[in-house]
Structure 1
Amino acid sequence: MVVQLTVQILIASIIGGIMGIVSHMKKRGRLEKPRMTKRFIYLGFYEDFAVGTIAAIMLVLSSEPQTSFQLVLLSIIAGYSGEAVLRSFEISSDPEKPDLPSSKN
């Protein structure tokens, strides 16, 4: 059981990372390398690779795919739309927050 889960996580991370790079190239039109500015370090395609990998792992762990087709499909979807998948986990994991009163002028 543990070995199967480890293999699923490994496959999801590889596919999610590759799809993260594909998403990066679609958004930016090219593969941007990491660079440093005076105040910021831009990770380039490494950032989208990491986001795709993390999103694919989280989606696979939360959905527990039963077949290899489901595993590959979930990894592709999560890797390609990585930021949206991570945002959905953030929203669903927050406890019920009270609504703030609206200010009417």
Structure 2
Amino acid sequence: MLKDIIFSMVIGGMAGIAGHVRKHGKIIMPRKTKRFIFLGFLEEMLLGSVAAFLIMIYTTPNSMIETIFLSALAGISGDIILTNFRALNENKEKES
């Protein structure tokens, strides 16, 4: 079970990186500014890994194909959720 969870997190992280490259056209490295730390591609990778971890714990797939499919889907979904969250914050700022 632990091997499946680790494998799932790796697949989810790779899907997160693929979503990052699709969105930005390149890999943006982490950097520190005066106000905050920008995580770059690590943000999407971590979000994809956590999403894949949660999906694995919740569903417990029976085969390796299901594990790969659900992990990749979770990694891509993590990127979509992050994009929607940012859009909602921007809309709140514009209304204020």
Question: Is the shorter-chain TM-score for this pair beyond 0.5, marking a shared fold?
Answer: yes
Write the distance in 1 (CA, Å) between the matches of 2:53 and 2:8: 6
**TM-score normalized with structure 2 length:** 0.79
Kindly indicate whether residue 15 of structure 2 is the aligned counterpart of residue 19 of structure 1. yes
Q: Which amino acid aligns with 1:58?
A: L
Q: 1:66-85 deviations in whole A, cap 9, x for unaligned?
A: 11111110001001221539
Q: 1:53-105 deviations in whole A, cap 9, x for unaligned?
A: 000010111011011111110001001221539x9xxxxxxxxxxxxxxxxxx
Over 6 Å off, 4+ runs: none
**TM-score normalized with structure 1 length:** 0.73
Write the distance in 1 (CA, Å) between the matches of 2:44 and 2:69: 18
Number of residue pairs matched by the alignment? 82
- Per the alignment, residue 56 of structure 1 pairs with 52
Please say which structure displays the higher CA radius of gyration. Answer: 1
Q: Which amino acid aligns with 1:37?
A: T
- Per the alignment, residue 31 of structure 2 pairs with 35
Structure with the largest fraction of helix: 2
Write the distance in 2 (CA, Å) between the matches of 1:78 and 1:60: 10
Q: CA deviation at 1:51?
A: 0.5
Q: CA deviation at 1:46?
A: 0.8
Q: Percent identity at matched positions?
A: 37
